[in-house]
Structure 1
Amino acid sequence: MSDARSTTAEPAKREEFSGQLGFILSAVGSAVGLGNIWRFPGVAYENGGGAFIVPYLVALLTAGIPILFLDYAVGHRFRGSAPLALRRVKRWLESLGWFQVAICFAIAVYYAVIIAWALSYFVYSFGLQWGDDTAGFFTGTYLQLADVGGADPWFTLDFVPAVLIPLVLVWVAVVVVLAARVAKGLEKVNVVFMPLLLLAFGTLVVRALFLPGAADGLDALFTPNWGAMLDPNVWIAAYSQIFFSLSIAFGIMITYASYRKRRANLTSPGFVVAFANSGFEVFAGLGVFAALGFLAHEQGVAVAELEGLSGPILAFVTFPAIVSQMPVGWLFGALFFGSLVMAGFTSLLSILQVVSASFQEKFGWTRRQASVRIGVVAGVLSVGAFSTTTGLIALDTVDQWANNIGIVASAVVTTVVIGWVLRRTEEMRFHLNGVSTIPVGRWWSFCIVVLGPVVLTAMLVSRIVTLITEGYEGYASWYLAVMGWGVVALFVVAALVLSRMRWRVAPDDFVAWPTYGGKS
């Protein structure tokens, strides 16, 4: 059992970011990931174009920023990773923290694979090795994708060397960075990579804007379809995009906030992180659709007739086709895939920091021990499950359930428990206002207690019903039960088991600051 009385060891002094800039760049590095580049432009295009900005901003102000601030308040006030901080809110909430850790671990295991793909394509860019048939190269030559459900089984251990080698390199780099202290490892990588990412992707966007047909691509993206505003699915899409983009409700921002100094400002950096993330998404939309406009111009078709306008197909099939037809295309390709590597790597570090910090605090591991042990286990699972000929199918399925079921369920439980069951919202607002220069009003409490749970529950129920009634991508129902619902069940089991295990350092010998005089 998780009885803190089993030990009287004193907790070590908590690591801290060197300052506000380091924290902001690290938080932005976590938020700005692969989805900003390959997901937002396609989602905006499919949900009203320019009109999508309205529900997007509403979602940012009513769900994204409020829940981001809630994560900040919990992590900073209770000075711990997700399991420790939530336990200090209420003892039995530790299991919710471990649920979030389990989600992070699963996401990290497959997220590293996509970074490995981008790393491979960065190298391929210099020789345009994908040739004219970019789709055939990605699924056939590169991934050697099995014909699951046909001639090949759903699971294989046929490893693909072109994926395996860069994937191992990614995991080695992750372990090295995480083994360093927060300020010397995690923060320094973000301080270097974030400006480089902006420079590389900015160069790419400027180049794309001057390509023939770029204006047609921008027209396709930004021409508003105001009728879409009446479609509830468009609003759900806007809330989904904000929710997944900001790295909220699955332990990352709780953990990051816990590394801030006691008197650190929270709300001002929070606004900077939120708007920087959204600004980068719009910026990415400019580059992506300018490039798509060029491809449509070269093929003599409308942008709407192109295939693969979002997701991995956009990145690894459509963009290589664009690069192949551009003057000095190798440079454009190197900038694009280099940007994917940097954006993905900083996000992967933030995801794994949640896992590492949680095990350090629970079991008394050193940072190096946690980094090596977690990195080796995650790396082995990553290689075994996702660098094979069936890896893409497994990745797609786990990603769908981890994000749309796991993370959204975590957000629903967090807002309902803190806002409704425990009634701790005012305490969190008190904390934010006690240390920040920009106070938050009762609008924030309303968003956390009422609006957030309603919208998130609608998202969750809608997705569950769709997955149950329609399945996913035509995959076999037994496969979805194992790799989809089974993975979510593992999250729950891991959360229950880990929350019952013994703490190495007493977790409850703690007094929150500043002192809150209201009822809690």
Structure 2
Amino acid sequence: MVAILPALKKVGIWLAPPPQKSEDGRAQWPSRAAFLLAAMGGCAGMGNLIRYPSQVYNNNGLQWFIPYLMCVFLVAIPCLVLEIAIGQAYHGGSVVAFNNVNHRLKGLGSSLLYIGFIVGPYFVVNLSWIMIYFRNSFKSPLPWEGRSEEFFYQIVVANVDAIPGNKTSTSVIDYTEYPGVKLIGETVAWTAFTWFLVWVSIFRGVGLTGRVVYFTMGLPIIMTVVIVGRSVSLENAGRGMKLYFGEWHGEKLARGDIWQTAAGQVFFSTGVGFGYFSSYASYNQKHSNAVMDSILIVTSNVLFEGFAAFAAFGVIGYMGMSPVDGERIGAFTIGFLTLPTAITELPAAKFWAFALFFTLMVLGYSSAFAMLDAVVTLVMDSGIGYVAKFGFALLTGIDRWISDVALVFVVFCECAASTSLYRWRDVVGQIGLPSFITFNSSFFGGMFFGVAVTHAAGAPAGAGVGFGLFIVGTLVALFIGKTPDYEPPSNYFNRNPYISRFWYLAFYSGQQLVIDLNVIVGMGKNWNIPVVWAPLLRFISAPTLAIIFGFSYPSFNALREDPLHILGFVVAHICLLLISAGVLLPRWFDVLIPPKRRCEGKIVYAPNVVQGSLETQ
């Protein structure tokens, strides 16, 4: 027995190796490839196979790709550069990293973890449904053959029908009632099993995770290629391809929902706003190529989900489905009704069922442990409601508003706050506090009132109010500001005192963030963060997200009689409270940061001096 223990220990170390250590003692990825695969695994999930095609289907045609690609290039890539760069530079997860940007952004860092905390439990319940299908894929005939809706809603989800509510244009008469409250045994069991697998994958840190990702990324890619090949060979698959990218419905671009769904899909599929990229990047070598890594991660995800969608659209063409204006289908319809129904009509149906649900499980599994890596406590307790007999409706309500409200607002704050508050003491010291407050009040106030007026009186009026407030506030700020002691680095901004003041107000924080991060992530042959990155975040990405965020409130008005949608709406808005509390009461969040690192976000007054890294601070 004594002789066996050393052998078992060696096997355990080989299967679950302890992570490498950096100079400061922090765990480190075994290789750059391990980090990239883990990050890509967090992006490439089951949503690529089922959520993405459902969003494209609901907004069928080439017009979908306009807001989708705009969100990818104007929001996802710049924000991912931010999350990875600060996590890597400051060797900490989202709370520690944003504390280093500014000590009042600890609430923003916490809100990213909060989103993972909310999404993780229902995401794992999705995986438990997939496992039920996977178990049943070994039966002959497949148990959902000829009764796909009955099997999903009555056997898998097993939810009791809700009692609909009633409302008028001004008030709610009766709220929707959900009589089913019992837990569903098999769903509970598979959920517990999935959490166990997630724990096994991360309990030894990035040393073990770095090995697991080779399986969770490699195998699903192979299986996806096989499934896509079979799907596009189906009869009438070409009709589905036409729905995918062969039609144009330009009038849909005037509707808010296409912009909301595009932004939500980009955030869910790339993982921006969930906090795990800063966590993963904190285990990188400090001088890794953050900019190149960010572009590789987002690009690989866009290509993967664009390719994987052929599987769904081949089946859509085969089944003769067509979008109906005003009727939306959810991701669960594609994943648990459309694809399984088509499988029953294929030769070797059992094999294709096994292949589909095994691929969905492994894809979802890699995303699940990415989220849990950022939030490791209390997840099990928060997921109980999703395995009850009203769980599907609860999941739908939470998912809707986390996507439309919380994620959009959190990423908006990442874009705007990091480029407005970084090294703000330098700005105040150069042009004065009244000027600083006036400019930023007009910047944020212009977006707020512009969106509000747009919904009340129309887009032209809203744009006029928003831009007008910003321009007036900027002129006042320039008039009351001091003349800077230190000239801007560019001769263009040195022409007169007013232009110099404008440079400090509009560009200084973002430029210094670029310079200070590039000292770390842009070393050697690494790609530098470009100069245009910060203005893009502040003046393009942030206003775009503010507009998208405004669409969520009219959408909620149509569902205000449903208590689970009300709950989802409230849960999503907790992010706003966390961020506000962090700005007003930053000390409340100090408990989340190691004592020796709590003062790192209070950067001393040093205009135009490169801060660089923790060591130079």
The correspondence for 1:240, drawn from 246, 264, 267, is 264
Q: Aligned-pair distance for 1:115?
A: 0.8
| Pairs within 5 Å for 1:88-487 | 88-127=100-139, 128-149=142-163, 154=178, 156-184=180-208, 186-225=209-248, 227-228=250-251, 230-231=253-254, 233=256, 234-296=258-320, 303-304=322-323, 310-356=330-376, 374=377, 377-382=378-383, 384-422=384-422, 424-430=509-515, 431-432=517-518, 434-435=522-523, 437-467=526-556, 469-471=557-559, 476=562, 478-486=563-571
Show structure 2 runs of 5+ residues with no match: 1-22, 166-175, 423-507, 613-617
- AA at the equivalent of 2:570: W
CA contact (8 A) 2:95 2:592 kept: no
Task: Determine helix, strand or coil for the equivalent of 1:501.
Answer: helix
Q: Aligned-pair distance for 1:189?
A: 1.8
Between structure 1 and structure 2, the one with the greater Rg is 2
Aligned residue for 1:25? 37
Q: Distance in 2 between matches of 1:486 and 1:39?
A: 22
Task: Determine helix, strand or coil for the equivalent of 1:129.
Answer: coil
Show structure 1 runs of 5+ residues with no match: 1-10, 297-301, 357-373
Q: Aligned-pair distance for 1:303?
A: 3.7
CA contact (8 A) 1:160 1:388 kept: yes
Q: Aligned-pair distance for 1:505?
A: 4.3
Say whether residues 1:86 and 2:86 are aligned partners.
no
Task: Determine helix, strand or coil for the equivalent of 2:355.
Answer: helix
Residues 229/425 of structure 1: CA separation in 2 closer, same or farther (3 Å cut): farther
Residues 499/331 of structure 1: CA separation in 2 closer, same or farther (3 Å cut): same
- AA at the equivalent of 1:507: R
Q: Distance in 2 between matches of 1:251 and 1:38?
A: 23
- AA at the equivalent of 1:194: M
The aligned length equals 478
Q: Aligned-pair distance for 1:451?
A: 0.7
Task: Determine helix, strand or coil for the equivalent of 1:273.
Answer: helix
Task: Determine helix, strand or coil for the equivalent of 2:532.
Answer: helix
Aligned residue for 1:56? 68
Segment drifting more, 13-22 vs 496-505: 496-505
Q: Distance in 1 between matches of 2:346 and 2:328?
A: 18
**Relative contact order, CA 8 A, sep 6+: which one is greater?**
1
Query: What's the TM-score once normalised by structure 1's chain length?
Result: 0.84
RMSD: 2.9
Say whether residues 1:40 and 2:52 are aligned partners.
yes
Residues 118/136 of structure 1: CA separation in 2 closer, same or farther (3 Å cut): same
CA contact (8 A) 2:409 2:576 kept: no
Task: Determine helix, strand or coil for the equivalent of 2:522.
Answer: helix
Q: Distance in 1 between matches of 2:324 and 2:553?
A: 31
Q: Aligned-pair distance for 1:378?
A: 1.6
Residues 293/166 of structure 1: CA separation in 2 closer, same or farther (3 Å cut): same
Q: Distance in 2 between matches of 1:493 and 1:20?
A: 33
CA contact (8 A) 1:50 1:224 kept: yes
- AA at the equivalent of 1:141: I
Query: What's the TM-score once normalised by structure 2's chain length?
Result: 0.72
Q: Aligned-pair distance for 1:387?
A: 0.9
Q: Aligned-pair distance for 1:205?
A: 0.5
Q: Distance in 2 between matches of 1:92 and 1:162?
A: 45
Q: Aligned-pair distance for 1:121?
A: 0.9
- AA at the equivalent of 1:454: P
Q: Distance in 1 between matches of 2:407 and 2:601?
A: 29
Q: Distance in 2 between matches of 1:264 and 1:461?
A: 37
Say whether residues 1:74 and 2:86 are aligned partners.
yes
- AA at the equivalent of 2:228: V
Q: Aligned-pair distance for 1:57?
A: 2.7
Q: Distance in 2 between matches of 1:267 and 1:454?
A: 23
Q: Percent identity?
A: 20
Task: Determine helix, strand or coil for the equivalent of 1:517.
Answer: coil
Say whether residues 1:501 and 2:591 are aligned partners.
yes
Residues 226/134 of structure 1: CA separation in 2 closer, same or farther (3 Å cut): closer
Residues 309/43 of structure 1: CA separation in 2 closer, same or farther (3 Å cut): same
